[in-house]
Structures are given as structure tokens and as C-alpha cells.
Amino acid sequence: MLPSSYPDPAEIARLTARMLLEVRAVLLNAAEPFTHASGLKAPTYVDCRRLLSFPRVRATLMDFMVCTVQREAGFEAFDVIAGGETAGIPLAALVAERMGLPMAYVRKQPKGYGRNARIEGVVPPGARVLLVEDLATDGGSKLGFVEALREAGAVCAETAVIFSYGIFPQTVPRLAAAGVRLHALCTWRDVLAEARATGAFDAATLAGVEAYLADPAAWRAARG
């Protein structure tokens, strides 16, 4: 079922940040930073997969995503919803159900046997595809999925995520240069603002995170 109301983008960002904090899908720790998959350390960590275990949060966020892409891209802008392996797959299914559209998913790499396909499901040539994922960092993984869809003959110019880091200045220009527009419900800035407003973390932690968000490279350099 399609959402029947369209909250203001600022309210969507605030409520999304609140839900991420409430279910501990985002963690902040300036004293003992997290090590990310890249090997780099940061006082922030986000795990959007956790949201799937909270039905009310999950449903609200998917309504927000549909509202956002319809408002920004159009009500009849897509023919297929595609999820990126793996976190985007369940989210794409939920969005496709709401929008009454077919769903497919894109592998990171060909599976190496059978059809050796990267795309699972039916994506007709010329189909306008919305790529759905959980989050965006520098945009690199999105471009890989978009390339696979385009090689299959689809048109993919829009991607939607729950969360965008919002601290890498090259992300939006990098996607735009490839003809892709990013739609995100919230960023680390929104999470930090909501954490401060609700007292979710102590002042020292929030100050440390704010310093990281202002200049991640300098923050890491200061810690060796």
C-alpha cells in the first residue's frame, strides 16, 4: 500500500535518525573507535540490517523511502525496483510491494555457474530501475550495481538509501557524473543533532563525533 501522507524532508530526517538511535542501529564511541571494513577507524558505526528486526520502524522507514523517491523522482518514474546484494535485497522487496512494482536484485559479482548472472529476476530492456540499498558512503558500490543494470539494458538513474554518511564531499558529484541521483532519508549530521536533542549520548562522545564528522582525515591523523 502506498503511503497516504508526505512528511516534510526535515521531519523524515529527524524521525529516521530517532529510529536508528532507538533500535541501536547507530553506535557512537569516541573513546574506543570502531574499525570499519576498510580498516579505517571511526567513532561512528551504522548497521541498517538491524532495522529489519523492528516491524514498526521497518514499515515507517519504507514508507518514508517511497515518499521521498516519489516526491523527488516522480510517481510513475519506475518500472522495476532492484536491491543491491545483500542488504538492499529485503529493502527493495518492501519498497516494490508498496509501489506495486516488480522486484529484482543485483549481485556484486557473477555467481560463477548456471547462467553466471549478476541480475536475478526480470528486468526488461529499457526498464526504468530504482536501485535500493541500506546506506551510501562514497558511492562506489552504487556505481557497480548501476553498471550491471545498464549492461543488462535497463535505465538506472536513481538510487535510494535509508542512510548516507554525508561526510564524503565526492559522493554526490561522483554519482551525478555517472548520471545517478542519490535519495537518502538521513545522514550522520541528522543523527548527531537528534542524539544531542534527546540526550542519547554524553557531551564528550558527541563532541568527539562532531570533530570526526567535520574532518575525518584530520581526526584519524590526530590519533596516529
pLDDT of the residue at 140: 81
pLDDT of the residue at 178: 95
pLDDT tens string 8-40 = 999 999 999 999 999 999 999 888 989 877 778
pLDDT of the residue at 115: 66
SS3 191: helix
List of domains in the chain: 9-221 (3.40.50.2020)
- Name the phi and psi angles at 86, rounded to 5: -105, -30
pLDDT of the residue at 111: 67
CB under 8 A, 24+ apart: contacts of 28-35: 28/195, 28/201, 28/205, 28/206, 28/209, 29/205, 30/204, 30/205, 30/207, 30/208, 30/209, 30/211, 30/212, 31/204, 31/205, 31/208, 33/223
DSSP 50: G
CB atoms within 10 A of CB 41: 16
pLDDT of the residue at 137: 87
What are the 10-residue block averages of pLDDT along the chain, 224 residues in total? 81 97 94 83 92 97 97 97 96 98 93 74 97 90 94 97 90 94 96 94 92 88 80
Q: Does residue 198 contact residue 18 with C-beta atoms inside 8 Å? A: yes
DSSP class per residue in 54-78? -HHHHHHHHHHHHHHHHHHH-TT--
What CA–CA distances, in Å, run from 163 to 155, 159, 187, 221?
23, 12, 6, 26
